[in-house]
Structure 1
Amino acid sequence: MDSIQVPTLPYLSQAQKSVLKKGNVQTVADLLLVPQDLGRRCRISPLEAKSIFNTVCQNNSPQIRSLSDVGDDAEQVFSTGDSYLDGALGGGLRTGMVWEVFGQSAAGKTQMALQLSLFVQIPISMGGLSGSACYITISSNLPTSRLLQIMEAHPQLSPEICNLENISTIKSPTIPILIQILSKILPDLIVAKANDPKSKPVRLVVIDALAELFRSDDKTTTGTLVDRSQNIVEISTLLHSMASKYNLAVLVLNEVTDVFGRDQDETSPGGDLSYKQQSRWFGGGDSVSGESNKEASLGLVWANQVNVRIMFSRTGRRRYLEDSVNSKRRKGVDGASLSGSSNTDTEPDDGPTLIRRMSVIFSSIAPPCSFDYIVTAAGISAVPDDDILSPPERNFLPTQEEARDDEIPATAMGSQVAPLDVGSAEHDAQPETLDTTSAEDEEWENYWNTDSIPEEMYSME
């Protein structure tokens, strides 16, 4: 029923079919997914839009199907390239769904998207979908050099099974352009690739990063919030329609906002929980120190549009890992490490590795969970607890350069340690080696040592 073309519907008049065509409503699925925006898209009155919607619903009741008849319409799953991460996500990335990955800058969101753009290309027998990807950027360019590095460094990838030719990219600097891409340009590309026997069908669409479209210097008013909500709903409708119609996965990268005063004003005047208190269950994680101070951008409207929400966090922690994990970290292009990014692990091979945190906030196919991961030359790699080793018998404090790379002062590293982080570099540090003198204390000490005020001034009444 969802794939039935609107021009073939006998119970719609020619005039109704014409206005639906102007609104780019091509199938029954397109029409049923946009009931609120049907009038605006087709430039018709709300009453006429409601009449068309009701007519289609009455004449297209759902039919029960046998699983043997589902065939290619069934959801498909492809690997992320890491078996532990696949298990946490319910087997991998599933088609027909909208996935969201949000987090701080340099947490690894783009690394995840690039990795998936390659793994969707590998054969089905190896965990992929033998498909291609479409990567939509907002303000940046697609980092092709990083794609090549992941392809060369990851043991499951090779130029014979994946390449840059199967990744299409387009930039969308404004909301109207993104809507045009999702409603016209991208569907045409998907159909063209599906009909070309020499091309791989599109199985993954990435938007990097959606929140950048909604940055504005204009004053926030009720009108601007309403406009933003309408744009988010329209974009979400197009994404879900595309994911369902073409059986592909949609990955949307998002940013974070700071959360202040969550422990205050726990209830509203009516006795109900406030939004701040409710948002802790769907807006962010709380598995490590400081993670609860961030939540996903775009608010409640967007939170209701995604099937899976995943949070990436920078922790400032470092751990000693087993050789099996370190070997992944050391593998790069011609032995080179990652370059031009704060994700780089530039420590010696026997040193601790920079750790980040991944949390599945909610998912329709897997339970919430949280675990550590590292960013390597080969992409994202999960770090199970059994890969943690006790540190060597030596003290370790990060250098100022290492602390600056992750934007966390060296003196603050200890405050980022989770209670169960046994085996971390901070856990090994001896208390006497830590300099607890703050810059403010030193400033006041220098002031009083150089005090030139006469003593009689202190005795004046």
Structure 2
Amino acid sequence: MTGTTAFALWESRASTTTVLPCGCDSIDEILDGGFRSGILSEICGESSAGKTQLCLQLLLQCNLPRSLGGLQGTACYICTEGVGSVKRLHDLAQVYARRYGAVMGVGNKRKRGEMAARVSASDFLDGIFVEQLYTVDDLMDLLQARLPTLLAEQNTKLVVLDSVAAVFRLVSTSSVKEASDRSRTMFHMANCMRILSAQYDVVFVLTNQVTGDFDPRSTTGNEFRPALGLSWSHCINQRYVYVPTTDVVLPLAVFYL
């Protein structure tokens, strides 16, 4: 009888998994190097905790050459709550252009034997594809029809969904059947993303909101929990939660891997 050992499978996966650092040493240390391909990673937290800001940084980080901590590929930003973040993305792209523009320009021109020129903020933004949608049906259409083509033809190495809770906001769960249908849709959606992540070696990062758990017996105030409930918790592989404290810094807690 011949077969593959569990260690060999683990070693093979570890050697082929793509890791995208976020560019912040303290957070990358918590993430054991960064976000990985082949799985679904969720960033969860209250409003204004910094979820979108981290995602915008990842989009730009993906554009960087591997020697500078990037994946030297394009990124796809799926925005479900309006395009208000695009201005912030442009501002952050200017920061990246000032920090890495000259180095990247020298490398690019050297390959073509031309005079060196700085890489601008526009060059960074040209490597980010933005999809704006608001419903579950639109998201499923993107995952099953258009996104595979983008991943195959544009060297896309990162997909960000910001946020997953927004597309389910108008989905009713007032009856048992409706709740069951929503859970089934969640599992199908997550499975589509996981297959794409493994097939194209793409990093998938999703943001999620929190809901209030108002307990009159609580002595520590209102508790918060990730939106979409237990069903969605079984769909993802990693959950990183911004935990509010009395300190100025919002620590990032790893709930499970």
TM-score normalised by L of structure 2: 0.80
Which secondary structure state, in structure 2, belongs to the residue aligned with residue 160 of structure 1? coil
* Alignment-derived partner of residue 24 in structure 2: 82
| CA deviation vs aligned residue, 1:296-320 (integer Å, no higher than 9, x gap) | 01111111111110112454644xx
Q: Is contact 1:99-1:251 (8 Å) kept?
A: yes
Aligned-partner Cα distance in 2 for 1:262–1:118: 44
Offset of 1:186 from its aligned partner? Answer: 0.2
Alignment of 1:149 onto 2:110: no
* Alignment-derived partner of residue 160 in structure 1: 119
Alignment of 1:306 onto 2:236: yes
Aligned-partner Cα distance in 1 for 2:165–2:242: 16
- Residues 27-426 of structure 1 mapped to structure 2, 5 A cutoff: 74-141=16-83, 143-153=85-95, 156-158=99-101, 160=119, 163-193=124-154, 201-216=155-170, 218=172, 220-261=174-215, 293-315=223-245, 317-318=247-248, 355-363=249-257
CA spacing shift, 1:262–1:167, aligned 2, 3 Å: farther
Q: How large is the RMSD of aligned CA atoms in angstroms?
A: 3.0
- Which structure is higher in helix share? 2
Offset of 1:133 from its aligned partner? Answer: 0.7
Q: Is contact 2:40-2:204 (8 Å) kept?
A: yes
Aligned-partner Cα distance in 1 for 2:129–2:242: 25
Q: Is contact 1:73-1:247 (8 Å) kept?
A: no
Aligned-partner Cα distance in 1 for 2:61–2:171: 39
Aligned-partner Cα distance in 2 for 1:81–1:313: 20
| CA deviation vs aligned residue, 1:162-217 (integer Å, no higher than 9, x gap) | 61111001112111111010011100111122xxxxxxx11111111111112238
Q: Percent identity?
A: 28
Higher RCO (CA-CA < 8 Å; seq separation 6+): 2
For the pair shown, the structure with the greater C-alpha radius of gyration is 1
| CA deviation vs aligned residue, 1:236-284 (integer Å, no higher than 9, x gap) | 01010011111111111111011233978xxxxxxxxxxxxxxxxxxxx
Which secondary structure state, in structure 1, belongs to the residue aligned with residue 214 of structure 2? coil
Offset of 1:123 from its aligned partner? Answer: 0.8
Q: Is contact 1:257-1:296 (8 Å) kept?
A: yes
Offset of 1:113 from its aligned partner? Answer: 0.6
Aligned-partner Cα distance in 2 for 1:83–1:137: 27
TM-score normalised by L of structure 1: 0.46
* Alignment-derived partner of residue 6 in structure 1: none
Offset of 1:160 from its aligned partner? Answer: 2.1
Aligned-partner Cα distance in 2 for 1:246–1:131: 12
Q: Is contact 2:93-2:125 (8 Å) kept?
A: no
CA spacing shift, 1:93–1:71, aligned 2, 3 Å: closer
Aligned-partner Cα distance in 2 for 1:98–1:262: 35
